[in-house]
Amino acid sequence: MNPKDAWNAAFTQLEMQLDRASFDTWLRDAVWLGEEGDMFIIGVRTGYARDMLQHRLYRNVRRVVSDSYGKSVELRFEVQKPDSELERSEEDMPLFRLLAQQDKEAPSVPLHQQVPRPQRPDVPESELNPRYTFERFIVGSENPMVYPAARAVAERPGLAYNPFLIYGGVGLGKTHLLQAIAHACREKNLRVIYISSEAFTNDLVDAIRHKTTAMFRDKYRSADVLLVDDIQFIAGKENTQEEFFHTFNVLHNFNKQIVLAADRHPSQMQGVVDRLRSRFQSGLMVDVQTPELETRIAILKMWAQERGIPLPSSVGELLANRAKANIRELESHFNQVVAAAQLSSQPMDMGTVQIVIDGYRRPREHVTIAQVLDITARHHGLSVEDLIGPRRNSPVNQARQIAMYLAREITCASLPQIGEAFGGRRHSTVLHSLNKIAGDLANDELRARVVTLREKLLKGGE
Ligand code: ADP
Ligand code: MG
């Protein structure tokens, strides 16, 4: 048996022999690096793993490997450097520099007074939308590649295409596909992190502020599958780019899957350093195209069916023809019509659609966004500042979404104007909020709240 095969066989043996936790912690990520005579060199991800294997577990592991090779061997464990290009040591990396600096600055505290570091941080950013699955993704003729490619990545993470990058315009299903991959990998019990590049940046900034940069690094580097959405927002952020570059290399070296979504081809990304841009392009890149009419209708049918709402084909066609450019817009129109039907207990027919469409054309100048904010805030026991500010806890968030929904429904403000009035939020955020509320209106309590507020506003306050 050649040395590498012997190592692989031993690896399988060890997986059976060691208890699960030890194997997962110390050996799972070990990779074959090569041999020097009878010395086998094995790459591991962390210094802890190396020390553990080199000392505590050494005899056991060495025996299994020697047995499998049929000859006595020695082992050397090395912390795998991210990339040959990175001849620099870890100390050169920004977080390590920072840590070193923090260590210098920190007054030395006796060991017994030190506060223990929290255990592995959970990853709240990786909440997934349960609706973004492969089953709910309609494959149209305009996008023959992207769906099978995403499926292949989900089936063989790290092996099929790595990195896998999906790019294209707004509302074309990039986030949906990323999360579908994430769901599928979670089902395999892989450690999955789904995060937007903005949240990644915020997490880094927080880590620097709270001096938890080591944890930050560990968290992202221990992912089996890392999916970063809207990676284009990394542009111009040097520290984030540098950290992400190293994270990328570590993961890639260990055959961990990286999936990215962007609003444009990497070659069009200004303000992204070349070495990172070339990483983005080093795997499979697939673009998503605007959906054809048939795809849009098929999607509408799926949504209607899921909610048990009969969708006459005339209504489907009208809606599909009104939202040509992207599915998010289609979703928004669909949700508005469903909501209008539910709020007025009407069937979803051309009449309802017409009312909704006419409704948008009718100016309602007498209600302003300021009134919507005021009344919605008071109704929820909040202040207007809460609604337009950055707080994101769930009562505030929902009140804010309701206010946006009402602003859209009964003032004549455009989406960008609403975004502006709500503390400079993006057009897409507003759209997301409208969809969220419209989609949740089947909930009686929410619907009653929206109806009450709407009546108050139309009556001109309390
Ligand atoms: P992007 O990230 O490209 O801006 P999203 O993934 O957020 O777009 O998609 C917007 C909405 O459209 C989501 O609700 C998503 O579920 C839906 N959607 C997009 N493409 C499809 C598709 N092919 N089949 C079903 N739903 C889709
Ligand atoms: Mg998206």
pLDDT number for residue 79: 84
Among 153-162, 305-314, 356-365, the minimum mean pLDDT is found in 356-365
- Whole-angstrom Cα distance, residue 179 to residue 166? 12
Whether 123 shows a pLDDT value over 70: the answer reads no
Per-residue pLDDT of 177-189, as tens digits, reads 999 999 999 999 9
Q: How confident is the model at residue 126 (pLDDT cuts 50, 70, 90)?
A: low
- 3-108: CATH superfamily: DnaA, N-terminal domain (3.30.300.180)
Among 87-91, 277-281, 315-319, 415-419, the minimum mean pLDDT is found in 87-91
pLDDT number for residue 358: 63
Q: How confident is the model at residue 353 (pLDDT cuts 50, 70, 90)?
A: confident
Q: What value does the mean pLDDT take over residues 93-120?
A: 44
pLDDT number for residue 364: 60
Atom number, ligand 1, closest to the C-alpha of residue 330: 12
Whether 428 shows a pLDDT value over 90: the answer reads no
> Among candidates 29, 17, 81, 10, which has minimal Cα distance to 191?
29
pLDDT number for residue 258: 98
- Whole-angstrom Cα distance, residue 34 to residue 361? 70
- Whole-angstrom Cα distance, residue 60 to residue 142? 56
> Among candidates 458, 460, 452, 459, which has minimal Cα distance to 343?
452
Looking at the domain that runs over 293-361, which CATH code has it been given?
Answer: 1.10.8
Whether 319 shows a pLDDT value over 80: the answer reads yes
Whether 293 shows a pLDDT value over 90: the answer reads yes
Among 111-125, 138-152, 212-226, the minimum mean pLDDT is found in 111-125
Whether 86 shows a pLDDT value over 50: the answer reads no
- Whole-angstrom Cα distance, residue 405 to residue 450? 9
Per-residue pLDDT of 234-291, as tens digits, reads 999 999 999 999 999 999 999 999 999 999 999 999 999 999 999 999 999 999 999 9
Identify the DSSP state of 267.
G
Q: In the beta sheet, which residues pair with residue 356?
A: none
Is the C-beta atom of 327 inside 6 A of ligand 1? yes
Whether 29 shows a pLDDT value over 60: the answer reads yes
Of 350 and 195, the one with more pLDDT: 195
Q: Domain limits of the chain?
A: 3-108, 134-288, 293-361, 363-458
pLDDT number for residue 384: 95
User: CA-based Rg of the chain, rounded to a whole angstrom?
Assistant: 27
Q: What value does the mean pLDDT take over residues 400-411?
A: 90
Number of the ligand closest to the Cα of 327: 1
- Which residues does 128 contact at the CB level (< 8 Å), separation at least 6? 179, 182, 183, 186, 194
Q: How confident is the model at residue 83 (pLDDT cuts 50, 70, 90)?
A: very low
Q: How confident is the model at residue 404 (pLDDT cuts 50, 70, 90)?
A: very high
Of 191 and 460, the one with more pLDDT: 191
Of 81 and 248, the one with more pLDDT: 248
Residue type, 221: R
CATH architecture of 134-288: 3-Layer(aba) Sandwich (3.40)
Q: What value does the mean pLDDT take over residues 374-384?
A: 95
> Among candidates 51, 258, 38, which has minimal Cα distance to 165?
258
355 and 318 in contact (C-beta within 8 Å)? no
Average pLDDT, the chain: 85
| Interior angle at CA 291, CA 289 and CA 294, nearest 5 | 150
Report how far apart, in Å, the C-alpha atoms of 138 and of each of 109, 128, 149, 294 are: 58, 19, 14, 10
Burial-class residue 141 by CB neighbours within 10 Å (0-12, 13-18, 19+).
exposed
251 and 221 in contact (C-beta within 8 Å)? yes
Query: What DSSP line would sit under 325-346, residue for residue?
Result: S-HHHHHHHHHHHHHHHHHHT-
Three-class SS state of 161: coil
Whether 192 shows a pLDDT value over 90: the answer reads yes
> Among candidates 322, 327, 353, 350, which has minimal Cα distance to 340?
353
Protein residue closest via CA to atom 21 of ligand 1: 173
Residue entry with tokens 């817009």: 329
Per-residue pLDDT of 207-222, as tens digits, reads 988 989 888 998 999 9
- At residue 365, φ and ψ (nearest 5 deg) are -60, -20
Burial-class residue 79 by CB neighbours within 10 Å (0-12, 13-18, 19+).
middle
Number of the ligand closest to the Cα of 292: 1
205 and 238 in contact (C-beta within 8 Å)? no
Site to probe by mutation for ligand 1, drawn from 139, 233, 327 as the one with most ligand atoms within 8 Å of Cβ, is 327
Is the C-beta atom of 171 inside 6 A of ligand 1? yes
- 363-458: CATH superfamily: DnaA protein, C-terminal DNA-binding domain (1.10.1750.10)
Protein residue closest via CA to atom 1 of ligand 1: 171
